[in-house]
Amino acid sequence: MSKKAAPSFSKALFSGVVTDDLLFPYPKLSREEAENLDIMRDTFRKFADDTIDAHLIDEQARLPDKVLQGLKELGFMGMTIPEKYDGFGLSVTAYVKMLDLIAGYDAGVVLTIGAHLSIGLKALLQFGNEEQKKKYLPKLASGEMVAAYCLTEPGAGSDAAGIKTRAVRDEKQGCYILNGSKLWITNGGFADFFTVFAKEPINGPDGEVKDKISAFIVTRDMPGVSSGKAEHKMGIRGSSTAAIFFEDVKVPFENQLGEPGRGFKIAMEVLNSGRLGLAGGSLGGLKAVFKQAIAHIKQRSQFEKTLDQFEMIQEKIGQIAIDIFASESMIYMTTALLDRGDVDYSLESAMCKIRATEVTWNGVNECLQMVGGLGYMKEYPYERAVRDARINPIFEGTNEILRMFVALSGLQERGEYLRKLGKALRGPIKGFGLLTDYATSWVKERVSTDRIREVHSSLNTPKVNFEIWAKNFHFAVERALIHNGKNIIYREMIQERLADAAIDLYAMITTISRVDTLINEKGEAKCQREIRLCNAFADQAWRRVRRNLLMIDHNLDRDIKEISSFVVEEGSYPFEVQ
């Protein structure tokens, strides 16, 4: 995305500006792309119905050869690669919809594809030069090569800027010499194409040499590249996870991706878009197990009634449906912003990842609860769904780190107003890359408004609640900045509340946009169910926003911290009932 991109809807919201023109009407695939997507989905279903056995994959902890081979032969490894490099050239929106479908068959299959397309080869697509693309993309599209993304190291997880892998230029040999190791790399056991992030000594303008992160294409056939044994995992067992080692690997100069020293920005930009695939795939897994749970509760009788007739079961079903509806509204709005190519979507993609992965985690757990003891048995899909879903809040940026990212980048937008503070805020979030590149002045140029456009009258309550709580959110941002000053960077519990409020507000407005657009297309009578979902979600959301904003000023943070410090000091829970 270009540096001149307009800042995101949510960043502007931190400054009290509602840029609803970005989000209305709700976007939609072109007819042609929707038709192509239907064909691709049918092809996948036909293949997967016969070939993918999630229970077996989980037990054997690997994808059968026929599954991987089929994915390659049918072109699924090239879904997002442009047609000129032999891929299908799907938009991000269509791609995420495909991941949603694939995830319903098996979490390991969707992760294998996601690690290849969403992150493994993404840096090549976004930052590679024409020669690099011509050389590798056709092979990656056909699956002759499978890609992996290599950032994490034993000493560098969330703090990815702390990587130790090094690439040193050797002018005599005409290549970089790469040394180091990467941990828990998806597709690591069999990938042949690695996007590797390593530190490179670079001469600064003042003549001082500093280590900066650069990105490289490394292939398995290079002497000195090896992978470790397959990790035994809790879930997503069909996916391959392994360490990758680089020992004096000679990486040709022409394999550098993007500019030297810009690797961290590349790594973060890849994850920004990758997170949308993860969010969509995560919900796809939930929808599949939800379907099975619904079938079960409709036929299982207790107390002479089927389970679906009990209020507490109805509550779970209704809640899961509301949560999926709102999360999807966020995700497909954001994929469309990405497809537009001129809007900063980094905050929104992090929000989608946080919300969708937590909705999924809660949802699969509730599905298991609804089917009772049967859900605990290995022969049914529920326990596997719980195990599979657990990874999502951890990888591609843990949800804690992403909440910090959302809050601090939003606050930075506002903090520019107090320029000194803005400078201080940049420090700790530099690790997230990209933040300082967007035109922060853009928001100031806009006429400030806290209203959104007129929507259909049946959505008036959500609209008014959005406006009220968006305004209160902005006031809370101001108070948080004024009360905490530079210390806001250490106040993670406040950051968490601001991030959660921002997520709910984004979910509210995207859900309103989706339903309003639908009503305009089909008429109110045909949209009663969606109107009900939108109203229910917005009502829950504004109450959460209110609670989070109240707790910015009135909270038990100091007590919680003190309790935490004495428990940590003791080394375990220190009390016993007398």
Ligand X SMILES: Cc1cc2nc3c(=O)[nH]c(=O)nc-3n(C[C@H](O)[C@H](O)[C@H](O)COP(=O)(O)OP(=O)(O)OC[C@H]3O[C@@H](n4cnc5c(N)ncnc54)[C@H](O)[C@@H]3O)c2cc1C
Active site residues: 396
Contacts to ligand X from residues 374-393, by CB under 6 A: 391
Question: 152 or 282, CB closer to ligand X?
Answer: 152
- C-alpha 139/C-alpha 87 separation (Å) is 10
Contact 274, 282 (CB under 8 A): no
Question: 233 or 474, CB closer to ligand X?
Answer: 233
- C-alpha 135/C-alpha 356 separation (Å) is 36
Verify binding: residue 409, ligand X, rule CB under 6 A: no
CB 463, min distance to ligand X, A: 35
Residue 572: HSE in the Cβ half-sphere, 13 Å Cα cutoff: 2
Question: 150 or 552, CB closer to ligand X?
Answer: 150
CB 496, min distance to ligand X, A: 9
Segment interacting with ligand X (CB under 6 A) among 70-78, 139-147, 182-190, 330-338:
182-190
CB 90, min distance to ligand X, A: 21
Segment interacting with ligand X (CB under 6 A) among 32-40, 76-84, 136-144, 181-189:
181-189
Question: 160 or 324, CB closer to ligand X?
Answer: 160
Segment interacting with ligand X (CB under 6 A) among 15-23, 62-70, 152-160, 330-338:
152-160
Verify binding: residue 165, ligand X, rule CB under 6 A: no
Quick one: 310 exposed, middle or buried, by C-beta within 10 A (0-12, 13-18, 19+)? middle
- C-alpha 72/C-alpha 324 separation (Å) is 30
List helix spans (H) across 220-345.
Answer: 263-299, 311-340
H or E stretch including 49? helix 31-51
> From the CB of residue 86, how many other CB atoms can be counted at a distance below 10 Å?
16
Per-residue contact track with ligand X, 86 to 125, x per CB under 6 A? Answer: -----------------------------x----------
Among 93, 152, 409, 495, binds ligand X (CB under 6 A): 152
Verify binding: residue 548, ligand X, rule CB under 6 A: no
Contact 405, 11 (CB under 8 A): no
- C-alpha 421/C-alpha 243 separation (Å) is 40
Contacts of 301 (CB under 8 A, 6+ apart): 307
> From the CB of residue 271, how many other CB atoms can be counted at a distance below 10 Å?
26
Verify binding: residue 150, ligand X, rule CB under 6 A: yes
Question: 161 or 464, CB closer to ligand X?
Answer: 161
Contact 103, 110 (CB under 8 A): yes
Verify binding: residue 557, ligand X, rule CB under 6 A: no
CB 151, min distance to ligand X, A: 3
What φ, ψ does residue 160 adopt, rounded to 5°? -65, -20
Amino acid at 39: I
Quick one: 468 exposed, middle or buried, by C-beta within 10 A (0-12, 13-18, 19+)? middle
Question: 292 or 398, CB closer to ligand X?
Answer: 398
> From the CB of residue 409, how many other CB atoms can be counted at a distance below 10 Å?
28
- C-alpha 468/C-alpha 199 separation (Å) is 47
Q: Which residue is nearest to ligand X (CB)?
A: 157
Q: How many helices (H) and strands (E) does the chain have?
A: 19, 10
Segment interacting with ligand X (CB under 6 A) among 54-62, 77-85, 395-403, 459-467:
395-403
CB 160, min distance to ligand X, A: 7
Per-residue contact track with ligand X, 490 to 529, x per CB under 6 A? Answer: --x-------------------------------------
Among 12, 23, 140, 185, binds ligand X (CB under 6 A): 185
What are the b/e assignments for 95-115, b being 16+ CB within 10 Å? bbbbbbbbbbbbbbbbbbbbb
Among 51, 306, 309, 398, binds ligand X (CB under 6 A): 398
CB 77, min distance to ligand X, A: 16
Verify binding: residue 149, ligand X, rule CB under 6 A: yes
CB 394, min distance to ligand X, A: 6
What are the b/e assignments for 165-177, b being 16+ CB within 10 Å? bbbebeeeeebbb
CB 231, min distance to ligand X, A: 7
Question: 147 or 538, CB closer to ligand X?
Answer: 147
Token pair of 199 as six digits: 């530190």
Question: 68 or 391, CB closer to ligand X?
Answer: 391
How big is the site for ligand X, counted in residues (CB under 6 A)?
Answer: 20
Amino acid at 526: K
Among 211, 259, 400, 557, binds ligand X (CB under 6 A): 400
Residue 475: HSE in the Cβ half-sphere, 13 Å Cα cutoff: 13
CB 304, min distance to ligand X, A: 45
Contact 150, 160 (CB under 8 A): no
- C-alpha 122/C-alpha 215 separation (Å) is 12
Verify binding: residue 394, ligand X, rule CB under 6 A: yes
Question: 19 or 186, CB closer to ligand X?
Answer: 186
CB 239, min distance to ligand X, A: 7
Residues in the site for ligand X, rule: CB under 6 A?
Answer: 115, 148-152, 157-158, 184-186, 233, 241, 391, 394-395, 398, 400-401, 492
